[in-house]
Amino acid sequence: MTVIEPSGRTGPGWWRSAVVYQVYPRSFADGNGDGVGDLRGIRERLDHLEWLGVDVLWISPVYPSPMADNGYDVSDYLDVDPAYGTLAELDALIAELHERGMKLVMDLVANHTSDEHPWFVDSSSSPESAKRDWYWWRDEPNNWGSFFSGPAWTYSEGRAAYYLHLFTRKQPDLNWENPEVRHAVYDIMRWWLDRGIDGFRMDVVNLISKDPDLPEAPVMPGQRYGNMRASVLDGPRVHEFLAEMHREVFDRYEDRDLLLVGETGETTVEEGRKYTDPARRELDMVLHYEHVEIDHGTFKWDVRPFDLGRLRERLAAWQTGLADVGWNSLYWDNHDQPRVVSRYGDDDRWRTESAKLLATVLHLQRGTPFVYQGDEIGMTNYPFASIDEFDDVEAVNYYHEAIALGVEPEDVMRSLRAMSRDNGRTPMQWDDSPNAGFTTGTPWLAVNPNHTEINVAAQRDDPDSVLSHYRRLIQLRHEDPAVVDGDFTLLTDSHPQVFAFRRRHESGQLAVLANFSGAEADLGELAEECRGDLVIGSGHGPVMAPWESRVYRR
Ligand code: TEU
């Protein structure tokens, strides 16, 4: 085991004291008035990010794409889609970020390409294609279902065979068993690093290794297709592939402070330790899902009530599981999640309080926090009234599949309202003007009507705003070594309302107390923790107000 010490702002482990900000380019800021966010828009908003204090910007894909999945279907890895701008503008963004002391991390979608990528066009053209083994082809499909409803196989006329796609039919899965595929991906990665970017967020990287037999999968009650997870998640060669990627790519840039983040949906703590163990040289950190599936039943659309006990237990498991080896990423929201204030907080009466509380408990855990655009002002879910208001392929496909299976339309809508990814994709709310300052044109997805109240301009100069709170938390990470390196202990595993933990460090310790409820909470024995300086919060005494959060340092 290699322990990385100390966690300075540069050098090995620099990302331990860093905060990442995720931009979903389509919805962040529109610089040319066509209703779609773009690189110019991002560049015009860098003051906001610098003022907030974030260290790293991760942008969701801006590569040329038919946009079947909003850019997670890439048709050219070495360019920028005209909807977002040009390569020259991306170079300018890199330079401008570096001038401000920030880094740029790009999304790398390498589990699959677009079906319009030249590799797939070639592979599907004939069984004799030189790229015939670059994707997963079979004469007969197995019973797997796609993550986005429907079968995971589509027939290709040119090839007279079926190809595998774990997502939409426009996202064929690359065959990582083929070394030519792996080396083509490594070439792309080096090309971008040579251009000056500072790392990658690797999309669904724990799906790249499949059980090569592609065995039939169990069909769950009420489902039409087999659940392929056991054959594709954290597959047999995934660690080998990531170690190879590290050797072939990152080892060549050892003098640079890069960030290697893997999105590893539905992975376990045990696998997370392997992915992030510095001695194994795979990834710096993983984006796991357990804490954002607390309210899922048998599957994502089977929405269950929030359960504090489950959340606390899963977060603590990752904290303690990666305490002696590896490193956590910390996030609530991203472009695939509904807004956390609506989900685990209260987006009505206690909106500001619950947004601050959620920020506090996330940022003060051990790990690298990720702020998703709009988190910093407490953006909420959108009041969807009809299926026509949804854009996301996952939501639209699920709607049609569920209706065909006989689920009542109102039940489907209830699921979509709570869980749809479109909740996290509505335009960023900069001000109270008609399109929230996002665009001067017609926004591609509706702006949340609550932008008149929830927006950056309204919060920027208010010391009690959610925005000021985020800025304070980011500063605290930069200043307080206990936030970065302190250990983590849960202070209660049974309080029905309170999530409380301690971060102990040689420089002192922090106690974080959070009342996850709209009722007062009696701290009981936890009141002993209310000692030292109150660095976050304003409450006192053994009873916490609804959605109150406090942090003491001693
Ligand atoms: O997400 C991975 C992924 O598995 C999610 O789509 C997840 O299945 C879903 O949100 C929960 O049901 C990544 C990207 O972040 C996402 O935007 C892409 O759609 C997906 O991969 C395919 O590239």
For residue range 275-314, what is the model confidence (pLDDT) as tens digits?
A: 999 999 999 999 999 999 999 998 999 999 999 999 999 9
Ligand 1 nearest atom to the CA of residue 166, by list position: 22
71 in contact with ligand 1, CB cutoff 6 A: no
61 in contact with ligand 1, CB cutoff 6 A: no
pTM for the whole thing?
0.97
- 245 within 8 A of 189, measured Cβ to Cβ: yes
Q: What is the pLDDT of residues 507-526, one digit of tens each?
A: 999 999 999 999 999 999 99
Tell me what pLDDT residue 6 has: 43
pLDDT band of 2, cuts 50, 70, 90 = very low
Choose the residue to mutate in 26, 72, 390 for probing ligand 1, maximizing ligand atoms within 8 Å of C-beta.
72
Neighbours of 383 (CB within 10 A): 12
Ligand 1 nearest atom to the CA of residue 112, by list position: 23
Tell me what pLDDT residue 1 has: 32
The yes-or-no verdict on residue 4 having pLDDT over 50 is no
Average pLDDT, the chain: 97
Question: Cα of 521 to ligand 1 centre, how many Å?
Answer: 37
Is pLDDT larger for residue 539 or for residue 278? 278
Tell me what pLDDT residue 10 has: 87
Tell me what pLDDT residue 497 has: 98
Q: What is the pLDDT of residues 229-259, one digit of tens each?
A: 999 999 999 999 999 999 999 999 999 999 9
336 in contact with ligand 1, CB cutoff 6 A: yes
Residue ID of nearest Cα to ligand 1 atom 10: 336
159 in contact with ligand 1, CB cutoff 6 A: no
Residue ID of nearest Cα to ligand 1 atom 23: 72
| Sheet architecture: strand order including 487-490 | 487-490, 498-505, 508-515, 549-553, 533-536
Distance CA 144, CA 162 (A): 12
The yes-or-no verdict on residue 166 having pLDDT over 60 is yes
Residue ID of nearest Cα to ligand 1 atom 12: 300
pLDDT band of 129, cuts 50, 70, 90 = very high
First to last CA, the chain: 31
- β partners of residue 273: none
257 in contact with ligand 1, CB cutoff 6 A: no
Choose the residue to mutate in 203, 286, 416 for probing ligand 1, maximizing ligand atoms within 8 Å of C-beta.
203
Residue ID of nearest Cα to ligand 1 atom 2: 204
Ligand 1 nearest atom to the CA of residue 109, by list position: 23
Q: What is the pLDDT of residues 493-510, one digit of tens each?
A: 999 999 999 999 999 999
Positive or negative: CA dihedral 49, 55, 57, 58: negative
Tell me what pLDDT residue 3 has: 37
Question: Cα of 530 to ligand 1 centre, how many Å?
Answer: 41
73 in contact with ligand 1, CB cutoff 6 A: no
- Nearest partner of 302 among 464, 391, 419, judged by Cα: 419
Choose the residue to mutate in 266, 291, 336, 421 for probing ligand 1, maximizing ligand atoms within 8 Å of C-beta.
336
204 in contact with ligand 1, CB cutoff 6 A: yes
Q: What is the pLDDT of residues 445-493, one digit of tens each?
A: 999 999 999 999 999 999 999 999 999 999 999 999 999 999 999 999 9
Angle at 7 between CA 192 and CA 52, to 5 degrees: 70
- Nearest partner of 475 among 28, 17, 5, judged by Cα: 17
The type of residue at 147 is F
Neighbours of 228 (CB within 10 A): 25
Distance CA 178, CA 135 (A): 9
Tell me what pLDDT residue 498 has: 98
Backbone Cα Rg of the chain: 23
478 in contact with ligand 1, CB cutoff 6 A: no
Distances (CA, A) of 398 to 68, 73, 296: 15, 19, 15
Tokens coding 156: 């290709």
203 in contact with ligand 1, CB cutoff 6 A: yes
Tell me what pLDDT residue 7 has: 55
Residue ID of nearest Cα to ligand 1 atom 14: 203
The yes-or-no verdict on residue 182 having pLDDT over 80 is yes
Residue ID of nearest Cα to ligand 1 atom 7: 336
195 in contact with ligand 1, CB cutoff 6 A: no
454 phi and psi angles, rounded to 5 deg: -100, 105
Question: Cα of 322 to ligand 1 centre, how many Å?
Answer: 24
Tell me what pLDDT residue 223 has: 87
Q: What is the mean pLDDT of residues 33-56?
A: 98
Residues catalogued as catalytic:
203, 263
